[in-house]
Amino acid sequence: MLETKQLAFSYDEKKGMNFPDFSLQKGEHCLLLGQSGSGKTTLLHLLGGLLSPSQGSIRIGDTELGQLRASALDHFRGKNIGIIFQKSHFVRALTIGENMALAQQLAGLKPDRERIMELLDRLNITEKFRLKPDRLSVGEQQRAAIARALINQAPIILADEPTSALDDHNAEEVIQLLEEQASVLGSTLLVVTHDKRLKDRFPKQITL
């Protein structure tokens, strides 16, 4: 489902990053570990098609990301990859419901209010549907970000430090929600973190 080979990236000529080859099967859950500055977020952005590698390949199913042009890549990402960033990147002028509908539209799908409400209900934030992001707590924004990442039933879910700013209770709740929802969808889940609280939850781990 997700495979990398000889992947490398450089922000400038002096500093380059080389990443290990790995593959994840459909429905597999994995933890990507590493200290700050090890390239975890860079690798996630490469896997999500937000950055282009200086060498190597990323294959999702039968598609190699490097062979897609910009518009095709945007469309492919919208339908196949759900990304949860460290900080929630919502369109602040739109409500939570409108942000989720926008995610569907960007993937070339018709907004599905029933699907949106179903997800918000599963994550216990149904009442936030008509609120703008700045009216939500940090934990509620995190749940909304998870809902947005799952809205298109993407086969790949990438989560960047989803628990780093949370206390033990909320960290447990968020990671449990991610695992549960990924399992419901049969999605491949890759969680990028340096949070040692998560190490015992995931049998499969990749360390940078």
Sequence spans of domains, the chain: 25-52+69-207
Q: What pLDDT score was predicted for residue 7?
A: 94
Among 158, 179, 196, which residue's Cα sits nearest to residue 40?
Answer: 158
CB atoms closer than 10 angstroms to residue 84? 24
Residue 35 has pLDDT above 90, yes or no: no
Residue 164 has pLDDT above 80, yes or no: no
pTM over 0.95: no
Residue 174 has pLDDT above 90, yes or no: no
Q: What pLDDT score was predicted for residue 38?
A: 84
- Residue 171 identity: A
Give the span between the Cα atoms of 206 and 140, in whole angstroms: 29
CA distances from 149 to 78, 133, 187 (A): 9, 15, 11
Residue 166 has pLDDT above 80, yes or no: no
CATH code, residues 25-52+69-207: 3.40.50.300
Task: Give per-residue pLDDT as tens, 111-139.
Answer: 999 999 988 988 889 999 999 999 998 88
Residue 169 has pLDDT above 90, yes or no: no
Section 56-80 average pLDDT: 90
The contacts of residue 71 (CB under 8 Å, 6+ apart) are none
Q: What pLDDT score was predicted for residue 130?
A: 94
* Helix orientation angle between 96-106 and 138-150, rounded to the nearest 10 degrees: 30
